Structure formats: structure tokens, C-alpha cells
Structure 1
Amino acid sequence: MAAADLWLTGSGTEMQLARIRAIAIISTLAIIGITLAVITLNRDTQSDAPVTQSCPAGFVPVDNTLPDSESEVKINVYNATTTVDLARNVAADFTNRKFKVEKTGNERKAQPDIVAELRYGPKTVGAAQLLKAYFLNDVEPVFDIKRENDTIDVIIGGQFKQLATPTEMRQAVAALGRPLLPEGTCAEKP
């Protein structure tokens, strides 16, 4: 019996050594994997790089994303016709549609041959697209690359009749598609 006990004990030691080797190999592989993952994440430059770095030299980044809601859009409404209180009435229509109307007034230069003109800058390219839809894309867009504020000027012309209904506006937004980047600009957001 003593020989049998010795044989079992020797066999148990070999199995124990095999387990220790297996655990050591697995632990080493796990440490190597974790180390490589940490190094990769630390050296990753994509996660911290702003999107605007992809703009070519001399180009101005613009926000061409459509707003989630009209309440995110600030506008000024100006009357370029001889119709009294037109800017105030159109501003009330925009307010009913949840736009933030900042100012109303009269435009110095009469514009009898247009429905509307939109004057906007880099911060409002996407918002201007939404406004175009309320005029069924029958507007004169005037992009000013040097404009720094986030308000759009809406100049109402002599051909204006009324703003589009919500259904017409949604159809017009779908027809217009994604806002085009004005010349000399690049997308600020993907």
C-alpha cells in the first residue's frame, strides 16, 4: 500500500504543477492582452481630435445639421414691402411654429420680386435649410461667411403669400435633403 500511496502522491504533484503552469500561461496572456489594450487606447488620436481639424486650410467650419426643433432657431423678421405690419404678422406665424423671434422691423431696400431672403452665417446653415422649407424653397439664400451670430434674418419680399403648413414643410425638408456646404466651408459636425 505504501507504494500505491507514493504513486498517487507523485501523480498529484505532477497535476498540481501542470495546473500552476496553465494558470501562469493564462495569466501572462491576460496581462499581455490588457497591456496592449491600454497602450492602444492611450495612443489613439481619433477620439480626441475635433472634427474641425479635417477642414482644409482657410476653410470655415459650419454647422449644417438640421435643428431637432424650431425652438432651437433664432430669427429676425424684416418687411421689404409696403404692406404695413407684415414683419410683425409673419413673426407671429413663426412664433406659433415655435421659432424664437428676436426682432421685427422694416428693411430699407424694397424687394418686390422675391418671396423671401434669408441672411445667415456659419452657425446657422442647417437652421437656414429648415427655414427654406417654410417658404417651400422659394427663397434667396444670402450666406455671409464672416457672420458670427446664430440668428437668421428673414426678409419678406413682395411675392410672399404665406408660410408652408407643417405637412408642406416636412415634405419640403425631405425634398431639400441635407444642407449643401457654402463655398469656402466644411462641416463642423458629421
Structure 2
Amino acid sequence: MGGKYRITGGKYPRMRPVRRRGRLAFLSVACATALGLLGWGTLQLIDVFTGGDQASAASGAADCRPARAAGPSPSPSPAVAVPKPGQITVNVLNATTRSGLAQQTADELKKRGFRIGEVTNAPEEFDKKLDGAGVLLGPDAADKATLPVLGTQLPGAEARTDAAREDATVDLIIGDGFKGLARPADADAALAELTAPRPAPTPVKKEC
């Protein structure tokens, strides 16, 4: 070549085209994105025209919630069959060192409608051996009838049964922790709750 600048030497530089890898990669990503959007749109159209109802049904089945059955209020369960205080004979026994406590308690129980049997000191197996408020002792049959009624008068007492007892009387054995019978209003409320009918459970059904 002539002119001011000349090429010297036995080799000539090779002229290569500029590499365009970055542009090709960008075009590939753009094409893939366009194809993805096109496929998603096609699926949406198919779902609208064919599968929408089935999807809604499946979703509704999964979202079922329990609901109370419509209709009248349930009838209450029958009241618990328990004897009245006038049908219960109570022996009041004093297991403490406090004199006259059995008679005072017996008099108060009589005012509340209970029949009173023996009023005396507790037998040796209980005498001065009860730290709590007291013990209610009766035959096996009294476990769910007589003893709960008597327990409304002395809530802190321990209920026990004696399989060897032949009569229907129950014992109220006073312990060292005894501070008096329950207040009449509280005892009456507890007795009313014991005998009151309880509502039956409400049936439940599922709704979608």
C-alpha cells in the first residue's frame, strides 16, 4: 500500500467479523419468554371453555365447612334422677377435737331439709385422722345419687363408698379442715344445677 502508511513484513492481518454472542443469547431468551406466555394464554383459554366448572367443583368440595343443622332447638336431656334432701338420712360424725361441732352441723342440715340419724364422734379409723373438710361415706348405690346431693352442702368433702354397708344412710364425717357448710344460696344453686336438664348436643352437617 502506498501513501504515508505502509504495511511491512511477510504476513497480513486477518479481518474477522465482530462476535455477536450476547445478541444471540438475548434473542434466545426473548423467544423462550414469548413461547411461555403464548402457552400460558392457551391454557387459560382451554380452562375457560372446558375445565372451569370442574375446577370450581373441586375447590368447593375442598372448602366445605361444618354448619349447624337448621331446624328447631334440640330437646333437653332428662333431668338426673337424684333424691331430694328429705329422702336422705345423714349421720353426722365428728373426727375433730372441737366439741359440739357434730350437733351444730346436724342442726343446720336439718334446717335444709335432710333427715338426721346418729350424731356422735367418728369411729377410730377416722377420729383425728382427717385433715380435709370431711368425708362423705355411703353404700355403693349412693355414689351417683345420695352422695352428690349431700356434697352440695360441703363441696370440699371427699366422697367414698362402703360396699359392706347394708342400709341407705350416709355419713358426714367432719375433718380438721371443716369451716362450716356451704352458704344456703350456694348449696341451693349447686343442687339446682345437679338436677337441671341439660340440652342435647346439636347435630352438625357439612355445607359447601
Shorter-chain TM band: 0.5 to 0.7
Identify which range, 80-89 or 122-131, moves more after superposition: 122-131
Deviations 1:37-86 (A, max 9, x none): xxxxxxxxxxxxxxxxxxxxxxxxxxx8311x211110100000000011
Q: Alpha-carbon deviation of 1:175? A: 6.1
Greater Rg by CA = 2
Measured on the aligned residues, the alpha-carbon RMSD in Å equals 2.1
Give the distance between the partners of 2:121 and 2:107, measured in 1 at CA: 15
Which residue is equivalent to 2:115?
A: 100
Distance 1:170 1:79, change over 3 A: same
Which one of 70, 85, 88 corresponds to residue 73 of structure 1? 88
Q: Alpha-carbon deviation of 1:87? A: 0.6
Q: Give the letter for the 1:72 counterpart.
A: Q
Contact 1:71 1:98 in 2 (8 A): yes
Distance 1:176 1:84, change over 3 A: same
Which one of 146, 165, 177 corresponds to residue 127 of structure 1? 146
Q: Alpha-carbon deviation of 1:152? A: 0.1
Q: Give the letter for the 2:118 counterpart.
A: K
Q: Alpha-carbon deviation of 1:177? A: 7.4
Q: Any unmatched runs of 5+ in structure 1?
A: 1-63, 179-190
TM-score normalised per structure 1: 0.54
Look up the SS of the partner of 1:134 in the other structure. coil
Alignment of 1:12-91 (within 5 A): 65-67=81-83, 69-91=84-106
Contact 1:123 1:148 in 2 (8 A): no
Give the distance between the partners of 1:128 and 1:154, measured in 2 at CA: 10
Contact 1:123 1:149 in 2 (8 A): no
Deviations 1:120-179 (A, max 9, x none): 01343311101111112x11111122322110011001111111123211333466679x
Look up the SS of the partner of 1:87 in the other structure. helix
Which residue is equivalent to 1:139?
A: 157
Look up the SS of the partner of 1:94 in the other structure. helix
Q: Any unmatched runs of 5+ in structure 2?
A: 1-79, 197-208
Look up the SS of the partner of 1:95 in the other structure. helix
- Is the counterpart of residue 158 in structure 1 residue 176 in structure 2? yes
Distance 1:112 1:143, change over 3 A: closer
Give the distance between the partners of 2:191 and 2:85, measured in 1 at CA: 13
Contact 1:120 1:143 in 2 (8 A): yes
Give the distance between the partners of 1:78 and 1:115, measured in 2 at CA: 12
TM-score normalised per structure 2: 0.49
Give the distance between the partners of 1:161 and 1:175, measured in 2 at CA: 24
Look up the SS of the partner of 1:154 in the other structure. strand
Give the distance between the partners of 1:70 and 1:177, measured in 2 at CA: 12
Identity in percent: 29
Q: Give the letter for the 1:160 counterpart.
A: F
